[in-house]
Amino acid sequence: MTIVDLLERNAAQKGAEVALVEINPELPENRRRTWREYDLVEPAARGHYRREITWSVFNEKANRVANALIARGIRRSDKVAILMMNCLEWLPIYFGILKAGALAVPLNFRYSSSEIEYCLNLAEANALIFGPEFIGRVEQIADKIGRERLLIFAGSGCPDFAEDYRELTADASSQAPGVYLSPEDEAAIYFSSGTTGFPKAILHLHRALMHAAIVEQKHHSQTEKDVFLCIPPLYHTGAKMHWFGSLIAGSKAVLLKGTNPHQILQAASEERCTIVWLLVPWAQDILNALDRGELQLSDYRLKQWRLMHIGAQPVPQSLIKRWLEYFPDHQYDTNYGLSESIGPGAVHLGVENVRKVGAIGIPGHGWQVRIVDSEGKDVPQGEVGELLLKGDGVMVCYYNDPEATAASLKDGWLYTGDMAMIDEEGFIFLVDRKKDVIISGGENLYPVEIENFMAAHQKIGDVAVIGLPDERLGEIAAAIIQIKPGMDCTEEEIQEFCLGMPRYKRPRKIIFAEVPRNPTGKIEKPKLRKIYGSEQLVASQNKS
């Protein structure tokens, strides 16, 4: 069985039931209502920002996508990239690609034009389906990427360099295309990056996607009565694999295009959500708004909300303690995983283990874990080593990168690059990252990439980028800058120069100081973290 079979089963058994809801609070029809007011408003009059589709329509749309792609020459094992913001069309397009026998290749919506081109070439994508937010970026490279692949625009006002998704699918059959899929067929390519910032293409089988669905339901016990609130972008394995729990249960999910505290609580209230997956910044924002009295829980209907879980970054113990003070009846779980292990769930805390907050947890359903030394030998309990994973969710390889594959996959074990230890009860704690990746608000930042960009500034003699602790984002990028002798430079000059980078990559803290290097020329980042990390912590404590 594959996840495509799950969609078709839901369409056959629950065809008239709602599968997906899209809410866009930024559209003008939305306004703040208490749950009592909301009950008096008919669904059709609640604002045009809300759209929904049933399981039957979901499946029919996926079939139309599949048949349209096949009609345009897409064949089994071809690759079709998706560059879209979360919307009601995203998942039907994803499933349509799979139904055609092709591989789905989701792209990060933050990618620049050059990064889009790089990833399309690395994955050998045969087609790109993109949304209206990306017309400008795709147009910049259309002459190059459009020579060898199909460009399909999903939105209103199709640009002349692309084909119209609506026209392609309007006349396509709504019946299943009849392409047989097995668990061992290739299904998807997701992108990750190393410390250099160059994306790696991660190849997964249908078996891995199905494994993720089973693991998610085993961990969080989804039933057909649950409603999942999905906020993170669907290009992430995390968001999609958590939604797979709704898919396997045949239950409703809500795609929320908004992240402020009121929008999250309002969506949970209005749609009767029972499960909400948050990133640390969003949970912090909700708690801070409640502390300041900007939100009142009595304005929302939240008694049905049973589970809040977090992934993508370390979770402060203090955050969960505060959360349970406001929401004492909530179950809580932490999820750990990588795109190489089909997203979260390889390790999880478990809703029954909230006393162990601070640990990432125990091996997930169907997963094996080891912690090893530099020679690949298991370390004793309590000692630090590299975390290894094994299970049906492990990637096949880094596509078109045999060297990176060989370094990360050994005898079926995935070497995560994360340093961890296991306590006397069998709970795993992350200690440090073997690589220097900074995780800020759930997004990976790559110091070398930022350093290379900043080094082009005419006044910068040397630069080092490190992660510093931050209460809301987990970490922020800090740039330690050594100015060239005889020159003066201001923080404003540096910040202006950094406007040439995507916003999320720009350093949030600028420090003018000497950049220490060891005798072999490597930057001594542990020393910098010790100096400035402790200063940041003291500043944060003084501020609070």
What three-state secondary structure class fits 93?
helix
Any domain includes 72: yes
Same structural domain, 318 and 455: no
Number of H helices, E strands in the chain: 16, 27
Of 295, 326, 357, the residue at which a domain comes to its end is 326
The reported pLDDT for the residue numbered 37 is: 45
CA distances from 29 to 26, 41, 193, 247, 265 (A): 8, 13, 40, 30, 18
Same structural domain, 307 and 449: no
Pairing of the two strands 199-205 and 474-483: unpaired
pLDDT, tens only, 225-252: 999 999 989 998 888 899 999 999 999 9
Any domain includes 403: no
Q: 45 pLDDT exceeds 60?
A: no
Task: Please enumerate in sequence order all residues whose Cβ is within 8 A of that of 528, keeping only pairs 6 or more positions apart, or say none.
Answer: 464, 466, 480, 515, 516
If pLDDT is split at 50, 70 and 90, which confidence band does 434 have?
low
The reported pLDDT for the residue numbered 197 is: 56
Which of 80-94, 184-198, 393-407, 413-427 shows the lowest per-residue confidence on average (mean pLDDT)?
184-198
Most confident of 62-71, 107-116, 526-535: 62-71
Burial 446-456 (b: 16+ CB within 10 A, else e): bbebbbebbee
Same structural domain, 211 and 76: yes
Q: 351 pLDDT exceeds 70?
A: yes
Any domain includes 102: yes
Average pLDDT over residues 171-190: 97
Same structural domain, 444 and 322: no
The domain total for the chain is: 2
Of 289, 310, 326, the residue at which a domain comes to its end is 326
State both tokens at 211: 């494994």
pLDDT, tens only, 237-292: 888 899 999 999 999 999 999 889 999 999 999 999 999 999 877 888 899 899 88
Q: Please answer whether residues 224 and 465 qualify as being in contact, where contact means their C-beta atoms are separated by less than 8 angstroms.
A: no
Any domain includes 356: no
If pLDDT is split at 50, 70 and 90, which confidence band does 28 have?
low
The reported pLDDT for the residue numbered 432 is: 61
Q: Please answer whether residues 379 and 414 qualify as being in contact, where contact means their C-beta atoms are separated by less than 8 angstroms.
A: no
* Alpha carbon 46 to chain centroid, angstroms: 29
pLDDT, tens only, 364-423: 999 999 999 989 999 999 998 899 999 999 999 999 999 999 999 999 999 998 888 999
Any domain includes 374: no
Any domain includes 114: yes
Of 292, 326, 360, the residue at which a domain comes to its end is 326
The reported pLDDT for the residue numbered 522 is: 65
If pLDDT is split at 50, 70 and 90, which confidence band does 313 have?
low
Any domain includes 426: no
Strand partners for 127: 80, 150
Which of 2-6, 314-318, 428-432, 511-515 shows the lowest per-residue confidence on average (mean pLDDT)?
314-318
From the list 279, 280, 282, 262, the residue with the least C-alpha distance to 270 is 262
Instruction: Return the sign of the alpha-carbon dihedral for residues 267, 273, 274, 278.
Output: negative
pLDDT, tens only, 199-221: 899 999 999 999 999 999 999 99
Same structural domain, 113 and 255: yes
Same structural domain, 270 and 135: yes
Any domain includes 272: yes
Same structural domain, 287 and 157: yes
pLDDT, tens only, 497-538: 999 998 989 999 999 999 987 644 567 888 898 899 866 544
Same structural domain, 168 and 317: yes
The reported pLDDT for the residue numbered 151 is: 97
Average pLDDT over residues 420-444: 83
The reported pLDDT for the residue numbered 384 is: 86
d(CA 87, CA 96): 15
pLDDT, tens only, 128-146: 999 999 999 999 999 999 8
The reported pLDDT for the residue numbered 443 is: 82
- Average of per-residue pLDDT values in the chain: 89
d(CA 457, CA 122): 30
- CA neighbours within 13 Å on the CB side: how many for 261? 18
- Residue 507, domain CATH: 3.30.300.30
- Residue 161, domain CATH: 3.40.50.12780
d(CA 288, CA 283): 9
Give residue 71's domain range: 3-326
Same structural domain, 314 and 178: yes
What three-state secondary structure class fits 419?
strand
Same structural domain, 462 and 318: no
Question: Which pTM was predicted?
Answer: 0.82
